[in-house]
Amino acid sequence: MTATPFPVSEIVASRRPHRKDAARNYDALLAAAREAFAEHGADASLEDIARRAGVGIGTLYRNFPNRRDLFESVYADEVNALCQASVEVADREPWEALTAWLRRFAGYMVTKRAVREALDGESDIFTACRDSMYSAGGPLLERAQREGVARKDMDFGDLLRMVAGITATAFEDDAQRDRVLSIALDGVRAGR
């Protein structure tokens, strides 16, 4: 299946360097930043991120002149991957496609809260990411509703808020979080 363009895709493509070695460093920095932010929150050390990526601090600053640039790039890259996941599940049965994407969204929310909270909710990046998520996941819910497998008395914003609320709660472990998400998704399924 071909990738569907989302507003955030253009942002990600415009920020990533074209030279192979520079792109490798950029990708390593994003991966290291995701890991550091998941472990230490928005206050993760930039020096630690550079070390984890195997590059010098100068390389980090060449790619991300300030902490906000790094937050925005990590956030946009993660949302872009989430949007591409909607393309990957689109050929599945409507309920399976919707729940597979929502589980991916839940995983994204659990590890990305620090980055998202560090960004201004009115920034261009945040707006493009939100629009992209709605463009990616909204049609999955609409298809499930048309096929009669998802409740029709909710919209996509309701669904995202429900999943985001679940992921904001502390759980004993991932298995408990997954059980609670499954219980909530049973409430979304039509005819239950």
Interacting residues of 119 by C-beta distance below 8 A, sequence separation 6+: 68, 71, 72, 75, 125, 126
Q: Identify the CATH class of 7-188.
A: mainly alpha
Closest by CA position to 26, among listed 59, 51, 57: 59
Spell out, as residue ranges, where the chain has pLDDT lower than 50. Answer: 1-2
State the pLDDT at residue 174. 85
Backbone angles phi, psi at 155, to 5 degrees: -115, 175
> How far is 6 from 27, CA to CA, in rounded Å?
20
- Domains of the chain, residue spans: 7-188
pLDDT digits (tens, 9 = 90+) for 46-66: 999 999 999 999 999 999 998
State the pLDDT at residue 72. 85
pTM metric for this prediction: 0.81
State the pLDDT at residue 171. 86
Backbone angles phi, psi at 150, to 5 degrees: -130, 145
pLDDT digits (tens, 9 = 90+) for 84-114: 999 999 999 999 999 999 999 988 886 676 6
